[in-house]
Amino acid sequence: MTRIYILLALIMLIWGFNLSALAVLVKNVEPITLTSFRIFIAGISVLIITKIMGLFRLPTKNEWKTIAIITIFNVAMHHTFLAIGLTKTSGANASIILGGAPLVTMLFAIVLLRQHISKLRMGGFFIGFIGIVTTSLASGEGLSSFSSGDIFIFLSMAMQAFSFILISKLNPTFDPRLLTGYMLVVGSVFIFIVSLFIEKDIGQITKLFEPKLGSIFLFSAIIATAFGHMVYNYAVKYVGPTETAIFVNLNTFFALFGTVLFLGETLYKGHYIGLALIVIGVFVGSGTVDYVWKRRREKRAY
């Protein structure tokens, strides 16, 4: 369990830095076209890795159905709505809405999986969300007015949260890392078709052959998307959707430091307060505090 939690923290670090990478990439390639190619490369990379690990095999007919159902929500709808939403709303709005993912995942788990969540852990989820809000508004730019982009961002977040429940509920009969590879490849095809209708200029992807942009793209596709989603989906199946979702709050923590390191942005006092709340929320919401208290009670009993 500890090893998986450490890996999840590492993935959040990578995903946080990936936000800076995407900020650079979308200035050169339109978001939906970029997303389709990024996810396709990630999917092929995952399948190659699973082949090396001895996990690769072709899905059965029923397994293809499972892949298709999860892919619709986890890849196709999530990434498409996210790409569209980011072009229509502010960064502060998007950060706060995406920061609600652990809360929405928790609600789905309670309703659909009948999962019991202690009051202490629920408090951790809310503390983490308050940290997200505090961090997002710390720069003083404020929360911009409601827009259609906010709806797309919310739908993106909700679709991904629901997909985590599906991974747990449908309990795919093959390794979740292999599931990730097929999901990414199938989902990328759907997103590419959408990009043809919305953006139409496929030729822009040739910009990624430039050394600097190419290296950033490969980091985003192979390290952040391929490796990141392999580990995260593995954790969803073996640890649980609620336990893994709370770690998503660390995205904001690491993303902020990424913008300072790579984009030269500034941290304000409110950022540090928000980040402290996020860390506290992760420790409480993940069950770490519950576990420590339980061990202390057991020791006192003896």
pLDDT digits (tens, 9 = 90+) for 228-278: 999 998 888 888 887 788 888 788 778 778 877 887 877 778 878 887 888
Residue 300: per-residue pLDDT: 67
For residue 124, what are its two tokens?
A: 């951790």
pLDDT digits (tens, 9 = 90+) for 142-161: 555 567 888 898 999 899 99
pLDDT digits (tens, 9 = 90+) for 56-80: 999 998 899 999 999 999 999 998 8
Note if the pTM is more than 0.75: yes
What average pLDDT is seen over the chain?
Answer: 85
